[in-house]
Structure 1
Amino acid sequence: MSVEQPSPGDTTFDLTDVDRARADLVRAVRTLFAAGVMSHSGHGNISVRLAASPEHVVLNRGDLLVTPAAGDPTAGQRVISSDVVVVDLDGRVVLGEPGRFTAGITRMHTEVYRLRPDVGAIIHTHSPQATGYAIAATPLPARYEALIVHGQPVDVPVAPWGPRGSAEAVQGIVDTFARHPRTQAVLLANHGLLVAGTDAGHAARLVVAIEEAAVSTLASTALGGPADLPAAARHEKPLAF
């Protein structure tokens, strides 16, 4: 299903580009759930930069990546949400109808796109083991080879806590990315995980690698803790995405 045509006051978009970005978004979310890295609540949000209009992004309009089947809140089955809006990098919704939580999540995405022109997609999750590191305000060590393969050669740093959706929280995320130019992800203190990728598929695969790293790093603690990778490994070129 295509998004509705923009109103006369909206920026003109290539709606095929919007539909393509939404399809990429949905595929990435399916990857996350298939890998079992999402919290039971399904809480999270994802955005994809438009290829033909990089000053705009497609963003899911709610704070859940799944919805009850057929809109029935009592249904046990849940389906991937494809309900999106298009926002500009100033945080304005320029296409689609914003949801209750759209305003609270938009700037967390758009300000990272401003800082990182190479970023093509951003995913926020409450992946349980990675979130454990976030709640402990402890950086996740980059000792798992898959992190390097997927473009995360440095420890995943922690952004300071701020009230959800607040300017303080967003600034903390931006400042953390700015202080760590080689990181593709930050842990959100007492909250969750935020990952930036070259595209939606890359971002999803990196979320999976980070959650696996968190699980394995915690398991290694009983065996003396994670061993360092050779320094040269951290400078290997990641896989092409």
Structure 2
Amino acid sequence: MTQHALTPSALRGAPFGADELTAARTDLTAGVNRIFAASAMSASGHGNISVRLPGHDDLLAVNAGELLRPWPADDLRIGTPASRTVNDEIVVVDLDGHVRFGTPSPSVAAILKMHVGVYRTRPDVNAVIHTHSPYATSYALASVSLPARYEALLVHGQAVDVPVAPWAPRGTAEAVRAIAETYQAHPDTYAVLLGNHGLLVAGDDARHAASLVVAIEEAAVSSIGALALGGPAPFPAHVKDHDLRLRF
């Protein structure tokens, strides 16, 4: 597939502009770097992140590379050197899973439909992050829902236990269907544990999704630690009378 430098000629005919692509990259960068700063990623860096392209509800910007690493915060705008190619970092896909810009790695190409499936199931969300965050993944490996007993989960909108989607081979129609059905069965959850695999988190934007990834990893660490003390205690009943959600 053709390599696309972020220049006017590269974007000619694309259904979006350079400013929209740059804004998406800024969102992706904020999300990726938030997770790494909090040490909520696995050492391998396996994971992926997507956001809706600003102004285009039917287009998604997804990381193109095989693994996630911290991203430099500088913009890739019209006029940057032709030696720098935005498709080294970003792929744009539509809600049918067709690549509209950039070149995904084989690994990312295999999971694009997973991201698309979440956006189709949850049209209210604008970002999706998948990680192998170690302690959250412990719950996924055990096929045990992560209890919403940690206040930071409520602060970031996860007021219900994080459910588990049953395992299916990554990237398959069966896996996409299992994730969609889990979201449908738990309409109040932003996050889903992927059985025998990892964590999938949707959000209002990339910062929100990344902050929730961090809160879920913290909750998993603390919940496992609390098991020796009798397990994490539920909130008192009057928690429902309090709106703890932090809105940016």
Q: Percent identity, aligned pairs only?
A: 57
Give structure 2 stretches of 5+ with no counterpart: 71-86
The answer to whether the 8 A contact 2:48-2:108 is kept is no
2:183 equivalent among 177, 187, 204 = 177
2 CA distance for matches of 1:152 and 1:82?
33
Aligned pair 1:19/2:22, yes or no? yes
Query: Is 2:92–2:101's contact at 8 Å kept on the other side of the alignment?
Result: yes
**Residues in 1 aligned to 2:47 and 2:235: alpha-carbon distance in whole angstroms:** 31
Instruction: Normalising by structure 2, report the TM-score.
Output: 0.86
1:28 match:
31
Alignment deviations for residues 208-236 of structure 1 (CA, whole Å, 9 cap, x no partner): 00000000001110111111112342564
Runs of 5+ unmatched residues, structure 1: 68-80
Residue 82 of structure 1: CA displacement? 6.5
Write the deviation string for residues 54-89 of structure 1: whole angstroms up to 9, x where unpaired: 10010012331128xxxxxxxxxxxxx971110001
1:90-239 matched pairs, under 5 angstroms: 90-234=96-240, 236-237=242-243, 238-239=245-246
Q: Secondary structure, in 3 states, of the residue corresponding to 2:201?
A: strand
The answer to whether structure 1 residue 37 and structure 2 residue 56 are counterparts is no
What's 1:53 paired with? 56
Which amino acid is the alignment partner of residue 198 of structure 2?
Answer: G
Q: How many residues align?
A: 227
| SS at 2:176 equivalent | helix
98-107 or 147-156, larger mean C-alpha shift: 98-107
Q: Which amino acid aligns with 1:58?
A: A
Structure 1's 82 and 149: CA in aligned 2 closer, same or farther, altered over 3 A?
farther
Counterpart amino acid of residue 154 in structure 1? V
Stretch deviating more after TM superposition (211-220 or 12-21): 12-21
Question: Partner residue of 1:85?
Answer: 91
Distance (whole Å) between structure 1 residues aligned to residue 126 and residue 177 of structure 2: 20
Instruction: Describe the shift of the 1:7–1:131 C-alpha distance in structure 2 as closer, same or farther (beyond 3 A).
Output: same
Corresponding residue for 1:240? 247
